[in-house]
Structure 1
Amino acid sequence: MPIKAILTDIEGTTSAVSFVFDVLFPYAREHLPQYVRSHADEPAVAAQIEAVRSESGEADADVERVIDILLDWIASDRKATSLKALQGMVWAEGYRAGQLKGHVYPDAVAALKRWKQLGFDLYVYSSGSIQAQKLIFGCSEAGDLTPLFSGYFDTTSGHKREADSYRRIAAAIGLPAEQVLFLSDVVEELDAARQAGMRTFGLARHGGALDGHTTVSSFAAIEPAQL
């Protein structure tokens, strides 16, 4: 079956890991406490505060305790959906203020534009919230790239190392998994996608190989039409 859609990871794949760890995480760590204090009564933020209480098992945690929990989760890079949602809100303010610009590798920008022109549908699957994904691509150093994408998926579709997550995504896209190409820099994610029936390409931008998967160092080396 020919490839009809391309599903890509962000961190380490389209974008530098250092952008997340050296720019986004420190920004969230610095600005999240005051953001939560200032917006705690707003429905969207209040819902995430409740989710933090539930996930942490601290149902009676006050706002300051919730902030401490969130900062601990940032420090441990915990993939908590509530944390990702709140980080996305903080980052949105930073992007709007011009304090943040999303990093996307130039080879990824060029390839995504070329693939879109060739008729491939493009999707994103990242552990970061859908809001955060749209911000990285919408406020990128290369301009607004969101028109290239047909949809976004995050951990609400399931964890990235579980095959069922990729089955859900294929169903949401409306294609057999065999017609979806998944790109990532993490072998366990590639394994899970393959178990679901997707085709895979591994990105190893600094060299090396992702065992069991065709591995390249640049998007320029990927030709979906030839698969």
Structure 2
Amino acid sequence: MKINLKRVILGIILILICISSASIISAYSIDSMEIQGGCISTGSGLEDKTYATIYVGEEYTGADVLIQIYYSRDGSQLNPGNKVPKTVDSLGCIEVPSANAFKYYPDLAEINLYDSDGYLIDSRDVSLSIHSGEQTFGDFYGSSSSSSSYSSSSSSGSSSSSGDGSTTTYHSGTSNSYVGNSNTGKFHAPGCDSVDKMKPSNKVYFSSRDEAISRGYSPCGRCSP
């Protein structure tokens, strides 16, 4: 039986490329992946879905992740926020269309990024203007943008307001009742779903809300600790 030398060589080259790509991805720990920026777009029709492009960096090309985006308007959630398996594309982006069209334009998008095992890697809340079209945030394709405001994991504060003008109230808390995520820089109330999804090695405990903020952690946008 004759062996096609060209095919053998081509096969070896492809194997080497795959090994090289895997090495590059492993060189950048998925745990250090961050939501650097992105673009959220909504059409003008009631039947139009909302599309999100989340930028995490080209160094993570080929990485498998789970992404979850909650859209809301005036504090009311517009979608169930299912976790969707995605692969980072060659531009370092994750493309996420909404499952359905929304009756209202969202004014907030909460983006949660998980590894393939379901552990929370990073999260980011993005405030949106109530209109159709594209709205970019953060460092998108390597270019800093501020066309929509956002609260990042490095921000801090003692209170926040919702779209209807009401002030968010916080849990009183008890000893060690606040749980921080050292990877995302956010802290949570003990009953928050995010606490159960954290890696144990990323959990940091605080005796008070003030302690969490003084150490540079910002409150979770969902549980409002």
Same fold by TM-score greater than 0.5: no
Report the structure number with the largest CA radius of gyration: 2
TM-score of the superposed pair, with normalisation by structure 2: 0.24
Q: RCO greater where, 1 or 2, for CA within 8 Å and sep 6 or more?
A: 1
TM-score of the superposed pair, with normalisation by structure 1: 0.24
More helix by share: 1
